């Protein structure tokens, strides 16, 4: 239904689609605003209401628990299996594809590409059971590594951790690799915030040339590296044009350096219309998990060893991409790595 150039959603939508939209709406709002929401609400409650004691009681916990995001987090199997996450994944839909076994007698670093605007595939696949990670990779525990700043927000941090997100610092990544256990899969969105500024439909530009820290950590601890390519991650939002060198792009780059997170100006859809809004579009996201690259432990790797393993990782990521692009992507040109 189209009125004055605005395309409205039809009225007779089946219930499951409405629930899917609702699941994505609540997630998008939480992603964009719940952190600051919790912070401002806590300050308000503390200074302006008689319930200030709730915040006062929370403060010692906030202090006591401050290292948890770095030390494995606090994931909860029940929260990860909430039905809302299945609706969330079915909206796009997000699908998880396995191309090789990841036996649980090792630890893994999964490199997730591309970042997209909000990494919906990273969250749906690895921070929830919405696509059935536990049954596809039995015996593995997945954790999604996200910006450390997210864990500053009171209450929000506790909620976040229940789904299995931890912070993306070096210490956090190493935590899973230095303890006795195996069967841990840490999912790192390698391209980081700057990659989001290049995320737009039908492009596949990834930021990997100078990202070598995770390679070094894999060598130091003998963790297997697994390339993951998420086709469609860049398609779910449009973005206001910001070609390289433009005023907007330079400003966004500068802000990213200052804040640690980037601010792409997103163009999505609304709840009742398909023309404006901040909701992602219903476009498929196919996340393909590649074969593991086994890495021999070397406590003090040389630059040469790091470069060699990095090149091997890039080659297997490009192969993974080429093997699946015809099935899952509209843009079949080769992967652009910057
Ligand atoms: C992951 O690592 C932790 C810490 O070393 C360990 O306790 C756990 O058994 C490992 N495996 C799984 C599947 O969580
Ligand atoms: C395909 O992706 C590449 C790499 O991101 C991009 O440069 C190119 O413009 C894209 N092609 C189309 C037709 O969108
Ligand atoms: C990819 O191509 C299909 C078929 O032409 C089209 O329906 C879909 O919208 C395209 N996806 C994107 C992200 O442009
Ligand atoms: C489309 O939906 C968005 C979000 O729900 C809303 O902000 C916007 O005003 C709507 N546009 C029209 C023309 O209804």
Q: What's the pLDDT at 23?
A: 92
CA of 190 to the centre of ligand 2 (A): 20
Ligand number, closest to the Cα atom of 267: 4
Contacts for 192-195 with beta carbons within 8 Å, 24 or more apart? 192/115, 193/115, 193/147, 193/256, 193/260, 193/261, 193/262, 194/253, 194/256, 194/262, 195/114, 195/115
Cβ-based neighbours of 120, under 8 Å, separated by 6 or more = 92, 94, 233, 236, 280, 285
- What is the pTM assigned to this prediction? 0.90
CA of 240 to the centre of ligand 2 (A): 16
Q: Residue of the nearest CA to atom 13 in ligand 2? A: 331
- For the chain, what are the domain ranges? 2-337
Over residues 31-90, the pLDDT tens digits come to 888 988 989 999 998 899 999 999 899 999 999 999 998 998 899 999 999 999 999 999
Q: Residue of the nearest CA to atom 8 in ligand 2? A: 203
Q: Are 197 and 114 in contact (CB under 8 A)?
A: no
Contact 183 CB / ligand 1 (< 6 Å): yes
Q: What six digits make up the tokens of 208?
A: 């990997």
Q: Residue of the nearest CA to atom 12 in ligand 1? A: 183
Q: What six digits make up the tokens of 280?
A: 């992602």
CB atoms within 10 A of CB 195: 25
Task: Output the average pLDDT for the chain.
Answer: 91
CA of 61 to the centre of ligand 4 (A): 40
Q: What six digits make up the tokens of 154?
A: 């009171």
Highest mean pLDDT among 176-190, 198-212, 241-255, 308-322: 308-322
Reduced 3-state DSSP string for 120-136? HHHHHHHHCCCCCHHHH
> Is residue 103 classed as helix, strand or coil in its secondary structure?
coil
Ligand number, closest to the Cα atom of 25: 4
Q: What's the pLDDT at 79?
A: 95
Minimum-distance ligand 3 atom for the alpha carbon of 330: 1
* Mean pLDDT for the stretch of residues 213-220: 95
Distance separating alpha carbons of residues 144 and 134, to the nearest angstrom: 14
Minimum-distance ligand 4 atom for the alpha carbon of 275: 1
CA of 330 to the centre of ligand 3 (A): 6
CA of 67 to the centre of ligand 2 (A): 41
CB atoms within 10 A of CB 107: 22
Over residues 82-140, the pLDDT tens digits come to 999 999 999 999 999 999 999 999 999 999 999 999 999 999 999 999 999 999 999 99
Minimum-distance ligand 3 atom for the alpha carbon of 202: 13
């Amino acid at each position: 239904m189209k009125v004055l150039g605005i395309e409205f959603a039809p009225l007779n939508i089946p219930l499951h689609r409405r629930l899917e939209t609702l699941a994505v709406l609540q997630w998008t709002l939480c992603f964009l605003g719940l952190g600051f929401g919790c912070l401002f609400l806590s300050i308000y409650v503390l200074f302006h209401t008689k319930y200030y004691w709730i915040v006062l009681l929370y403060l010692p916990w906030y202090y006591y628990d401050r290292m948890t995001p770095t030390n494995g987090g606090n994931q909860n199997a029940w929260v990860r299996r909430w039905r809302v996450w299945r609706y969330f994944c079915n909206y796009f839909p997000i699908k998880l594809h396995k191309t090789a076994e990841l036996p649980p007698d090792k630890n893994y670093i999964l490199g997730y590409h591309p970042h997209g605007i909000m990494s919906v595939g990273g969250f749906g696949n690895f921070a929830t059971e919405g696509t059935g990670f536990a049954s596809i990779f039995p015996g593995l525990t997945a954790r999604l590594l996200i910006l450390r700043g997210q864990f500053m927000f009171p209450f929000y941090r506790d909620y976040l951790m229940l789904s299995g997100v931890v912070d993306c610092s070096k210490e956090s990544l190493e935590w899973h690799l230095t303890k006795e256990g195996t069967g841990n899969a840490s999912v790192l969105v390698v391209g980081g915030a700057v990659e989001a500024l290049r995320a737009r439909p039908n492009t596949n530009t990834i930021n990997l040339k100078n990202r070598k820290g995770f390679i070094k950590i894999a060598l130091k601890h003998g963790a297997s590296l697994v390339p993951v390519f998420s086709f469609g991650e860049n398609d779910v939002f449009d973005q206001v044009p910001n070609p390289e060198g433009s005023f907007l792009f330079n400003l966004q780059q500068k802000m990213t350096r200052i804040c640690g997170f980037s601010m792409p100006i997103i163009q999505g859809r609304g709840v009742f219309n398909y023309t404006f809004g901040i909701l992602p579009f219903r476009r498929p996201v196919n996340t393909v998990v590649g074969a593991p690259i086994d890495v021999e432990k070397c406590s003090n790797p040389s630059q040469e060893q790091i470069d060699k393993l990095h090149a091997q990782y890039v080659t297997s990521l490009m192969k993974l991409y080429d093997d699946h692009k015809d099935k899952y992507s509209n843009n079949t040109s080769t992967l652009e790595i910057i």
